[in-house]
């Protein structure tokens, strides 16, 4: 499957983004969980503290109402005291259901027991006559101590609840730090993974480019004997390297053909140089021949002029002979007409005709020789003009 460089970059960045996003989501989830836990813990602790504080308020208020009743002997205060005591006991029972620590449950139970003693002592105090001041003071002191003990134990619960808040807040803070450390470690791993991915992607991209660059430098320097570049990329860079391999192969073939053709041209040039030297020698020979021919032509021309004069003379003689022949023919006709004149005249004419025939044959032979001589002169003249 062919994966382009752009797809590789998208894939690498997508992996890094997914890792960062996953880490961020996990960290966000953990931080939200811690925040929710902290919020719930605070709400629960504050609720318990508020209820314990309500218990304290009820204890102090009911004790104050009791003292007011004992001082003023107003039944309304005693009624309010009883109502506040009922609220106190209800709040204590409520705390028993929401408190999870056994120590605090034990303190609530102790507070309820103390409150029972408090109520008993209160009733005894109310029942005693006012003239029994010592017994009343003793019971009142005991009631004060019971109330103080209730306040003390309630305050202890509030204090420990506050300590639990601080302790659990510290634990949550440490958990937050732990999660942050984990997130930092994960981010460090992501950075290493991202750097590794970037390294392999950059190497996958840069390696073929470097190979191609070195090959192009070699080609630029005129070295076409480079080995075939082998890359495993199934992308545009792989296609580029394959194209460079084809280009260098084609260049090598073309240069080889050019070298072979240059060698052939050099060989032909040497042959042409040899032919040119031979032609120069031949030209020199032809020049000498032409010079000799020119000299011979001049001599032959002079001979031609002489022959021409002789031919003219011979033409004149031939004309004379032709005229003589015409005269002889005419004479022959006359002789034929006068044949009857006498045998002697015929014999004489026959002898003259034989002489004339021999003369004509000699003349004809001379004319043929002159014709052959004229042909030779014409050939020499043609050669002369061609040489010129």
DSSP string across 347-368: HHHHHHHHHHHHHHHHHHHHHH
CA dist., res. 178 & res. 167, Å (int) = 16
Tally of CA atoms within 13 A in the half-sphere of 372 that contains its CB:
5
Residues of the chain with pLDDT under 50: 276, 282-283, 286-287, 289-290, 293, 297, 301, 304, 307, 311, 318, 325, 332, 335, 339
The closest of 141, 122, 146, 135 to 69, measured between CA atoms, is 122
Nearest to 2 by CA among 233, 213, 242, 251: 233
Query: Which residues have C-beta within 8 Å of that of residue 69, sequence separation ≥ 6?
Result: 75, 77, 78, 81
Strands annotated E in 52-206: none
Q: Report CA-CA distances (Å) from 347 to 27, 93, 331, 356.
A: 166, 205, 14, 14
- Distance CA(189)–CA(192), nearest Å, equals 5
pLDDT at 73: 84
pLDDT of residue 131: 87
Contacts of 388 (CB under 8 A, 6+ apart): 294
Contact yes or no for 208/237 (Cβ under 8 A): yes
- Which residue from 165, 166, 153 is spatially nearest to 44, judged by alpha carbons? 165
Predicted pLDDT of residue 143: 93
149, 14 contact by CB (below 8 A): no
pLDDT at 148: 94
Confidence at residue 113, expressed as pLDDT on a 0 to 100 scale = 94
CA 312 to chain CA mean position, Å:
102
Assess contact for 23 and 186: CB atoms under 8 A: yes
Distance between CA 167 and CA 157 in Å, rounded? 15
pLDDT, position 304: 44
Q: Cα 326 vs. chain centroid, distance in angstroms?
A: 115
Give the length of the chain.
388
pLDDT at res. 153 = 93
Q: Which residue has the tokens 């634990």?
A: 171
CA distance 89 to 333: 202
d(CA 138, CA 126): 13
Q: How far apart are CA 65 and CA 356, in angstroms?
A: 207
HSE-up of 132 (CA within 13 Å, CB side)?
11
Task: Identify the pLDDT of residue 290.
Answer: 45
pTM, entire model: 0.49
Contact between 84 and 58 under an 8 Å Cβ cutoff? The reply is yes
- Identify whether the C-beta of residue 232 lies closer than 8 Å to the C-beta of residue 238: yes
Q: Which residues fall within 8 angstroms of residue 95, CB to CB, at 6 or more apart?
A: 48, 51, 52, 55, 104, 108, 157
């Amino acid at each position: 499957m062919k994966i382009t460089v752009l797809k590789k970059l998208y894939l690498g960045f997508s992996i890094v983004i997914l890792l960062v996003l996953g880490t961020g989501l996990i960290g966000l989830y953990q931080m939200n969980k811690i925040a929710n836990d902290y919020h719930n813990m605070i709400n629960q602790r504050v609720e318990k503290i508020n209820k314990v504080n309500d218990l304290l308020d009820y204890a102090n208020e009911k004790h104050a109402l009791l003292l007011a009743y004992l001082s003023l002997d107003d039944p309304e205060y005693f009624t309010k005291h009883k109502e506040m005591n009922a609220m106190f006991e209800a709040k204590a029972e409520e705390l028993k259901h929401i408190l999870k620590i056994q120590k605090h449950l034990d303190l609530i139970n102790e507070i309820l027991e103390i409150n029972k003693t408090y109520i008993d002592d209160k009733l005894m105090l109310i029942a005693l006559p006012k003239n029994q001041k010592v017994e009343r003071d003793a019971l009142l002191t005991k009631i004060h101590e019971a109330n103080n003990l209730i306040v003390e134990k309630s305050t202890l619960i509030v204090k420990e609840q506050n300590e639990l808040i601080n302790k659990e807040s510290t634990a949550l803070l440490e958990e937050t730090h732990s999660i942050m450390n984990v997130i930092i470690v994960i981010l460090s791993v992501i950075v290493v993974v991202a750097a590794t991915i970037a390294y392999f992607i950059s190497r996958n991209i840069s390696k073929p480019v470097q190979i191609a660059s070195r090959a192009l430098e070699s080609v630029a320097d005129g070295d076409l004997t480079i080995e075939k570049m082998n890359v495993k990329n199934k992308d545009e860079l792989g296609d580029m390297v394959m194209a460079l391999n084809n280009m260098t192969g084609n260049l090598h073939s073309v240069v080889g053909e050019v070298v072979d053709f240059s060698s052939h041209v050099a060989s032909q040039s040497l042959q042409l140089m040899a032919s040119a030297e031979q032609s120069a020698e031949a030209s020199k020979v032809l020049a000498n021949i032409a010079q000799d021919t020119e000299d011979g032509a001049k001599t032959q021309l002079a001979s031609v002029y002489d022959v021409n004069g002789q031919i003219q003379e011979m033409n004149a003689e031939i004309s004379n002979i032709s005229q003589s022949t015409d005269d002889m023919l005419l004479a022959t006709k006359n002789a034929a007409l006068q044949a009857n004149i006498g045998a002697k005249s015929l014999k004489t004419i026959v002898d003259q005709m034989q002489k004339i025939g021999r003369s004509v044959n000699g003349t004809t032979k001379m004319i043929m020789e002159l014709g052959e001589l004229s042909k030779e002169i014409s050939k020499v003249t043609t050669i002369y003009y061609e040489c010129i």
